[in-house]
Amino acid sequence: MLAGLGSALPDRVVTNEELTALTDSSDEWIRTRTGIRQRHFAVEGTATSDLAVAAGQCALKSSGQGGADAVLVATTTPDRPCPATAPLVASRLGLSGAAAFDVGAVCTGFIYALAAAAGLIAARTADRVLVIGADTFSSILNPRDRTTFAVFGDGAGAALLRAGEPDEPGALNTFDLGSDGEGRDLITVRAGGSQQRLAATVSDPDDQYFTMAGREVFRHAVQRMERSVRAALETAGWQHTDVDRLVCHQANQRILDRLADLLGIDPRRVVSNIALVGNTAAASIPLALHQAHGDGSLRAGHRVLLTAFGGGLTWGSVTLTWPRLAALDGSTSGPSPEN
């Protein structure tokens, strides 16, 4: 069950105006299509692990005493292709010896990692698992592609899960997870893996960058999250009107709005922080949770539904009743305007 939360954002805030100087777009173009006003970019020299460690420290601290015997890092932008980022994060958090591995499910990564963590706890392999979603998408974005460059931001968010009873507040009981590899080209970095090796001549220099087929991804995101939410609701025995807070992967404000509309969920119950941080990939759900918990919009007893969609394609949802958590401090890495 959920016992601690944390998040971290790099110091550098990049406004839409600043991006406009780099790309062929405008503040209005970005705001009306995405709802984003600014995002944080890590400066060169700041790696995904740096953000993950800061968020992890914050989550461990908020959970009270005790460390973690497993560390999972959901990321698409690991420090290096090899090894995984999680072992370094565990060591830097003073958790040397803990089980540690990365989870790759792009923007659904945090939900998948929560499911893996809940499984480790259920199998009694671990009692306390630190789940971190961390990404520095600025390291893979194409500065010439306004449809991605204007959308993504860097950040990390973390949750500490501990063993507990299934009926306790904070218990993660009803996951819905899915994938469709036929959609692999819709959200991708084509080169740099075993299929198109970087040592060989890359057929198109843009293949080194992240790409996303915007309109198709929009449609899939809404449809897949809608179905996944309905499946999770059914397993939990909840009606859509029972949902006090819907926390979606912060992909695009228009996606959040349309999803709430199709599900019949009051938009005032939809948690959103995309205006200030953009789409932070695997970090987006824990960042949104940390912010909403901090500002009081998420309160103990709330019935909460988390849902995400990402590259793969992948999607997933989970329900929980919000637990009583210790008062949380803000981001541990630099100023964060939403705190």
- Find the shortest distance in angstroms from Cβ 154 to another protein: 24
- Find the shortest distance in angstroms from Cβ 93 to another protein: 41
- Find the shortest distance in angstroms from Cβ 218 to another protein: 5
The single residue listed with the structure tokens 């394609």 is: 313
- 258: Cβ contacts below 8 Å, ≥ 6 apart: 222
User: Residue 247: which of 220, 274, 224 has the closest Cα?
Assistant: 274
Please say which residue, 24 or 44, places its beta carbon nearer to another protein: 24
DSSP assignment, residue 141?
Answer: -
Please say which residue, 227 or 303, places its beta carbon nearer to another protein: 227
Active-site annotation holder among 40, 142, 248, 249: 249
Active-site annotation holder among 16, 40, 58, 107: 107
- Find the shortest distance in angstroms from Cβ 31 to another protein: 12
CB atoms within 10 A of CB 297: 15
Cβ pair 286, 7 in contact under 8 A: yes
> If residue 57 lies in a helix (H) or strand (E), which one and from where to where?
helix 48-62
Gap between the Cα atoms of 175 and 192, Å rounded: 32
Please say which residue, 254 or 303, places its beta carbon nearer to another protein: 254
Residue 279 bears catalytic tag: yes
- Which residue ranges make up the site for another protein (CB under 8 A)? 32-33, 214-216, 218-219, 222-223, 254, 258, 261-262
90: helix, coil or strand?
helix
Token digits of residue 140: 């893979």
Please say which residue, 218 or 238, places its beta carbon nearer to another protein: 218
Strand partners, 90: none
Gap between the Cα atoms of 41 and 155, Å rounded: 8
Q: How many residues in the chain?
A: 339
Token digits of residue 64: 């009270």
Cβ pair 71, 99 in contact under 8 A: yes
Gap between the Cα atoms of 308 and 314, Å rounded: 8
Please say which residue, 185 or 204, places its beta carbon nearer to another protein: 185
CB atoms within 10 A of CB 86: 28
- Find the shortest distance in angstroms from Cβ 29 to another protein: 9
Active-site annotation holder among 279, 290, 293, 302: 279
Residue 58 bears catalytic tag: no
Please say which residue, 113 or 255, places its beta carbon nearer to another protein: 255
Residue 249 bears catalytic tag: yes
- Find the shortest distance in angstroms from Cβ 251 to another protein: 12
Task: Give the catalytic positions in this structure.
Answer: 107, 249, 279
